[in-house]
């Protein structure tokens, strides 16, 4: 069986991490015989070398495809653009930071090939590890995930984890509206409401980014998460009637 995956990597001011992430990701997927493409969606801003670094890497690694656009456009916007340009059977939404081990990324994608519609690494699974996870972020995460579980009946405690793999057609046919980090709640909720309830989880080791490098601003992103969750909740009947 031939395995193929499009890895979407949103990148905004990631010059400290992007080279290591891309090299290690390519190495691990190639070692496991995946037909791979990595779509690096870069927000190009002044005084940042992310684009230069990725362009140099793309000369050595044909798997890298660059989508560059000027200014800060948001991680959700980047993911949407990556989905539009993905060409493989499975889409993995990943990060430009060193938050998950490449081996765990392969495990997540492999879950889809076991027959699941979507799969993700659970940071709160028994045996999973969270290194450097701030208490404030942990509390907000637990409240958000508990709320989603109660509102939609999704049987997991880490649905907001940004690193997930989907069968490509699920994302290609989905109307996604988020521009920020709230996309990591919108996509799995809409997938679930559209009938894609067969998902796989695997325990992972999660390395939380140091606050000085983090792009996630809880005061800004929290209201966005609330808004998209409520929007999905009030439209849930419409989503549940969509014919797959």
The residue segments making up the domain with residue 116 are 3-240
Per-residue pLDDT of the chain in tens (244 residues, 90 and over written 9): 679 999 999 999 999 999 999 999 999 999 999 999 999 999 999 999 999 999 999 999 999 999 999 999 999 999 999 999 999 999 999 988 777 889 999 999 999 999 999 998 887 766 655 655 667 777 877 788 888 888 998 888 788 888 899 999 999 999 999 988 899 999 999 999 989 999 898 877 776 655 544 455 566 777 888 889 888 988 776 655 543 4
**Which tokens belong to 107?**
């495990």
Residue 36 is part of a domain; what is its CATH number?
3.90.550.10
Asked if residues 34 and 46 have their Cβ atoms less than 8 Å apart, the reply is no
Q: How far apart are CA 80 and CA 26, in angstroms?
A: 22
> What's the pLDDT score for residue 161?
82
Q: How far apart are CA 215 and CA 178, in angstroms?
A: 16
233 bridge partner residues: none
Q: How far apart are CA 213 and CA 135, in angstroms?
A: 17
What's the start-to-end Cα distance of the chain, in Å? 25
Please give the model's pTM, rounded to 2 decimal places. Answer: 0.87
Asked if residues 172 and 6 have their Cβ atoms less than 8 Å apart, the reply is no
E strand intervals along 78-169: 90-93, 118-122, 129-131, 164-167
Among 127, 105, 141, CA closest to 203: 127
The number of distinct structural domains making up the chain is 1
**Which tokens belong to 33?**
């015989």
Q: What are phi and psi of 109, to 5 degrees?
A: -65, -40
> What's the pLDDT score for residue 136?
74
């Amino acid at each position: 069986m031939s395995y193929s995956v499009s890895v979407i990597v949103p990148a905004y001011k990631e010059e400290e991490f992007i080279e290591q992430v891309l090299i290690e990701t390519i190495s691990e997927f190639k070692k496991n015989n995946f037909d791979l493409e990595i779509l690096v969606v870069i927000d190009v801003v002044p005084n940042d070398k992310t684009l230069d670094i990725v362009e140099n890497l793309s000369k050595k690694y044909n798997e890298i495809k660059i989508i560059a656009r000027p200014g800060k456009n948001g991680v959700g916007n980047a993911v949407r653009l990556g989905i539009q340009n993905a060409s493989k059977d499975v889409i993995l939404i990943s990060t430009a930071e060193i938050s998950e081990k490449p081996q765990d990324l392969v495990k997540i994608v492999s879950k889809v090939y076991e027959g699941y519609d979507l799969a993700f690494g659970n940071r709160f699974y028994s045996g999973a590890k969270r290194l450097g996870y701030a208490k404030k972020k942990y509390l907000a995460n637990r409240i958000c995930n508990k709320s989603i579980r109660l509102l939609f009946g999704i049987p997991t405690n880490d649905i907001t984890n940004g690193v997930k793999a989907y069968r490509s057609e699920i994302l290609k046919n989905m109307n996604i509206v988020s521009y920020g980090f709230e996309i990591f709640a919108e996509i799995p909720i809409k997938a679930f409401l559209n009938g894609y309830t067969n998902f796989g989880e695997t325990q992972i080791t999660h390395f939380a980014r140091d606050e000085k490098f983090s792009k996630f601003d809880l005061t800004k992103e929290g209201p966005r998460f609330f808004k998209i969750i409520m929007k999905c909740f009030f439209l849930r009947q419409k989503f549940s009637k969509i014919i797959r």
